[in-house]
Structure 1
Amino acid sequence: MDDHRLIWSALTMVLQQAGQQIVAVAASVDALAGTPDPDVVVCELHLPRGPSGTEAVRRLVGRGRRVLVMSGTTDPEMVLDAVEAGAGGFVEKSEDPDCFVTAVDAVGRDGFHVSARLAGYLLEDLRRRPLAVNDLGVRHLRVLRALARGDTAEEVCRDLTVSRADLAKLVTAALEAGRRRRRRYRPSPREREVMILLACEGLSRKEIADRLGIASWTVTSTLENLRGKYVRLHPEVARSIRPSAAALLWAMKLRLCERASAG
């Protein structure tokens, strides 16, 4: 799914030449309704209409579709959010066309395609936001590092002396760990409530406390927690950022006000 006709014309031709059947080309998730179920949906992260990014991936995965995301502008956080939402892989638009064929084949066959770029993102995410001391084992890390170097699945299996089935298990476990890591740092339901009331309705801490029936200090604590999560997810942001400012920025990034008004 994408709105760039030239890219999709070229990509469609390459996939068809590789023996893939294209069942539909659409510019939005909703436009796919009623089309035959494909083995893989290749989804642009920046769709011009309807849900986009993580929400688009989540809807597609919720319909039982395997999703390979692509983008021309690589935002690591957006890519990892898409993986957390259930995407099985990521490919940059600038990649060689053969890479798309390999990725589509892999997602259709194994359910995942960890490109060198995505492997690098997963390793960096692990470094910045570990789940625990043994977030991933030594074998998982060796596989991710090999993929991040650009090694193919066949090369990884040969060099690390693992079977294709074992490699699939290791990569799947690494992706699941990445998803758990993202979920750990996402806003909780209560934190989202506070963000919406602060950013979308412009309420003060006392007004938020009154609306939610909680103490003012609870709102303050919630905002402090939000700041901690936001800074961990966005290392370019100064740790000295005010809690309310972090909550406002995160609400904008998550488009909470748009979603609240639409709901």
Structure 2
Amino acid sequence: MSTLRIVLVDDHPIVRSGFRQLLELEPGWEVIAEVGSAQELAAWMLHSTCDVLVLDLSLPDGDGLVMLRHLLAQRPDLAIVVLTMHDGALYVQDAIAAGARGFVTKSSAPDELVDAIRAVGRGETYLGTDVRDFEADGMQEGHSELPELTEREAQVFLLLARGHSVARVAATVGINAKTAYAHRTNIYTKLRLTSDYELRLLAMKRGLIGRA
């Protein structure tokens, strides 16, 4: 039986250590690397490869969605499972749209990550039990948190709320800066906003981001 090679990407060593112990209980599974930052991940990927990469979206030196796109542009067959504290529908949609094959929240039971890795290792897609309702409710057809906005505008809204510049929003979503600015203008108009500060306040009020 061939070994399933796994890489854990999270900036908390205790989190990586705990999941490593769990995953290596599975026959034929090996965690071949633990990575704590986007910079470390980029350096590791230059000379190494794996079968499944478990990726935290919130690294101190890089945006998880940008990393997803860059990694898959270089290695389209790489199976990536997102492991994150965020459980909103917009986060799930953005991750899957960026190319993740699995999405598990850190509030899930530990066995959920095992199930996710097993599924993506077979070439399937896996959503954790606490976020599956988003897909069942038609995640691609609209967002209950932002009913005023289109699907793309809702994506842009969330990225702006997380503190991204318009240029970074464009790179993350895969659109040009002019289009990103147009989306921001439409968001401001529809939601009667005048600044990104007001946008972040609204995002907090609707439970899309945590309070600082």
TM-score between the two structures when normalised by the length of structure 1: 0.52
Question: Are 1:24 and 1:35, in contact at CA under 8 Å, matched by a contact in 2?
Answer: no
Note the alpha carbon deviations across 1:170-205, whole angstroms, 9 max, x for none.
Answer: xxxxxxxxxxx855865653232458xxxxxxxxxx
Q: What residue ranges of structure 2 are gaps of 5+ in the alignment?
A: 1-8, 144-149, 157-174, 204-212
Structure 1 pair 109–183 and aligned structure 2 pair: CA distance change class (3 A): farther
* Structure 1, 28-37 or 185-194: larger mean CA deviation: 185-194
Paired residues for 1:83-94 under 5 Å: 83-94=96-107
Q: What residue ranges of structure 1 are gaps of 5+ in the alignment?
A: 130-180, 196-221, 232-238, 254-263
RMSD: 3.1
Paired residues for 1:28-67 under 5 Å: 28-31=37-40, 32-49=44-61, 51-64=62-75, 65-67=78-80
* 2:136 is equivalent to residue 123 of structure 1: yes
Question: Are 1:46 and 1:53, in contact at CA under 8 Å, matched by a contact in 2?
Answer: yes
Question: Are 1:23 and 1:36, in contact at CA under 8 Å, matched by a contact in 2?
Answer: no
* 2:8 is equivalent to residue 3 of structure 1: no
Structure 1 pair 74–30 and aligned structure 2 pair: CA distance change class (3 A): same
Q: Percent identity?
A: 24
Note the alpha carbon deviations across 1:51-77, whole angstroms, 9 max, x for none.
Answer: 222112212222222210011242332
Q: Secondary structure of the equivalent of 1:192?
A: helix
Question: Are 2:83 and 2:105, in contact at CA under 8 Å, matched by a contact in 1?
Answer: yes
- In our comparison, the structure showing a higher alpha carbon Rg is 1
Q: Secondary structure of the equivalent of 2:131?
A: helix
Structure 1 pair 52–3 and aligned structure 2 pair: CA distance change class (3 A): same
Q: Which amino acid aligns with 1:45?
A: L
TM-score between the two structures when normalised by the length of structure 2: 0.63
CA positional deviation for 1:227 = 4.1
Name the structure where helix makes up a greater proportion of residues.
Answer: 1
Tell me which residue corresponds to 1:192. Answer: 180
Output the CA distance in 1 between the equivalents of 2:113 and 2:155.
30
Output the CA distance in 1 between the equivalents of 2:121 and 2:74.
15
Runs of at least 4 residues off by over 4 Å: 181-188
* 2:85 is equivalent to residue 96 of structure 1: no
